[in-house]
Structure 1
């Protein structure tokens, strides 16, 4: 009886993940038939103390810079992604990594097995010296099926080159993301921020590596307040990103701007937003997809739109293409960019990593990006929203109990 129940639960978990990713793949194929164009603004390099910080809002420049950094590597490369497609862009990254390994550069690669294989699988890699590839599967042993902390994926996307250049954000590896998706990624150039990102990668690698993978020494970390990295660690039931959202919302005095691909926050975050708007008169603007690649999430998210609109929170539905960014800026001084969506999977289950910036220049650039995204969006009008069709209201209510599984 118990083994049968366990297999059923495992099957439901895997099926839910595969269905989610299949919906993403279907949406990607549909969108790939046309070229979506959105406004791209100039984003100059920002100096944050000793670190050069670049923010990206489109994939063409990002992937070009990532490949350039890989090609210039002199000592070590560490790379991790959720989805790695075996298409033109995916093969460009594959070739770059193989070439650097042949040159004697140590290359360490992590990809999520479920996320990548549900999208057709990543490129194949030869068994050559200096090239180490880890396909992340949370269940190493049968007994791991009994541990809730193992029921997750790595949703992180990061690249570290020579422990001095690093990238982190929402972009997966695939042609669709380069051509069409609107996402946000960030690059640091200096030990500031890179040390924490390298530590996060090494800790993940050493925790989940196979016996044939080398153990990596932990890099040093340094005290700072301007740039910090925060990561979920499901094995330790440690989920700081959710706490960061709550603290930022609760401390806001003037303005909050949020862009998020899958906006299904839990009750505590919803209530914090409503209190900020109604009791402290904080101006709150939120950009989210009008139609994302996950129709179920869209319907569940819309169940709470009326509450936000009544609190004078402004909602904007991004049009044309899929907006996949996960960002927040508060009071023109604090910002966060990363991999975590505002849903339960990201905040309470999966491996995620976000970069926090306490810098007005970064916040100003995030405000400019947000303004550009608003211009690509439709305003969700409170009166028209109250007049939406009964079928929509019923569907939202029927699907809303599914939010813990999203």
Structure 2
């Protein structure tokens, strides 16, 4: 199941949580205060009080606005709340490596990943006027069991037995095959490695949706080489509605070079595009939490689901076409004539970006 509308995603998540009988595994980068998050907390508390094993993992930085009273309620109901990397000065470099992952596993039967967060902004559309454009991919079968193992690698507990959860037939029997790809820098750069391999192996098309596009030079070079091979490379990026306007300026600083190399750029107009997904040759897909920027590829802990599934590829292809139709295709000629003040801002931001990447990566080999 693939969902891209936040109201539908919120409804699906709430329903799956309400239907839980044995176990709920819930991990997210952002869980903020608000009306919808409060509703989710209430469901989790009720389920824990009813005897369902509820495990929650939240990033200490991304979910810093999670109310302390909610944490106390969850623990009083019996839920096991774990904070990933509390902020502290000791071991600062390690603590700055955040968990950007999103995964929910219910009863060992359903697993869902994507870029969604538990915050009212996602449903009200702040800073825009409509809900965010998001992505949730849900599946059953052996991927749900893999999801349990992935979840507990970020927990202090060992993997418990699956209990008495019912056994669903594997979805992959009819839609294809998939596997989780974990990025856990600095030792595990699997997300970057797999994305880079897919780009290098592309023959016909590479379509990328990401709100933040700022990869390292090696990934950029692979994209340019793909265009030289005749591959149709398209980027679907956040447009005027964004949570980081200055960061958008920095991303736009690379537009002219990208378009000069033959990359097609689209900016989504109707809402803030926060979804992260990629489709190569209409046969290989990646959906999850990782942006195509150097923070996700080199620093944050990320979780993507890699799919070789004809039905999932068809759904993503159709979604891309719909989103391209609602996006602004950046025309290289008018863009070349943009105001001088924009060029000055972009030049300045490019210098900052190069400095940050150089100092952040240090002597690490690409």
* TM-score normalized by the length of structure 1: 0.78
CA deviations over 1:248-285 (Å, ceiling 9, x no partner): 1100000111110101111111111111102x100111
**1:368: which partner in 2?**
318
* 1:172 aligned onto 2:117: yes
Give the counterpart of 1:330 among 280, 286, 300.
280
Deviation at 1:311, TM superposition (A): 2.1
CA deviations over 1:110-169 (Å, ceiling 9, x no partner): 1122212258778444233531111222557x6423xx3432111111111111111110
Task: State the alpha-carbon separation in 1 of the partners of residues 54 and 316 from structure 2.
Answer: 32
Task: State the alpha-carbon separation in 2 of the partners of residues 401 and 160 from structure 1.
Answer: 42
**1:77: which partner in 2?**
24
**2:166: which partner in 1?**
none
* 1:289 aligned onto 2:238: yes
Task: State the alpha-carbon separation in 1 of the partners of residues 109 and 230 from structure 2.
Answer: 42
* 1:96 aligned onto 2:46: no
**1:59: which partner in 2?**
6
Write out aligned runs for 1:147-296 (5 A): 148-179=93-124, 180-191=131-142, 193-206=143-156, 214-217=157-160, 226-234=177-185, 237-278=187-228, 280-291=229-240, 292-296=242-246
Task: State the alpha-carbon separation in 1 of the partners of residues 69 and 205 from structure 2.
Answer: 41
Give the counterpart of 1:378 among 313, 328, 337.
328
User: Which runs of at least 4 in structure 1 moved beyond 6 Å after TM superposition?
Assistant: 119-122
RMSD of the TM alignment (CA)? 2.2
* TM-score normalized by the length of structure 2: 0.86
Task: State the alpha-carbon separation in 2 of the partners of residues 160 and 259 from structure 1.
Answer: 25
Deviation at 1:314, TM superposition (A): 0.9
Contact persistence 1:170–1:338 (CA under 8 A) = yes
Contact persistence 1:259–1:325 (CA under 8 A) = yes
Task: State the alpha-carbon separation in 1 of the partners of residues 256 and 97 from structure 2.
Answer: 32
Task: State the alpha-carbon separation in 2 of the partners of residues 143 and 181 from structure 1.
Answer: 36
Deviation at 1:400, TM superposition (A): 1.3
Task: State the alpha-carbon separation in 1 of the partners of residues 54 and 247 from structure 2.
Answer: 36
**1:27: which partner in 2?**
none
5+ residue gaps, structure 2: 125-130, 163-169, 361-366
**1:109: which partner in 2?**
56
5+ residue gaps, structure 1: 1-53, 207-213
Contact persistence 1:138–1:151 (CA under 8 A) = no
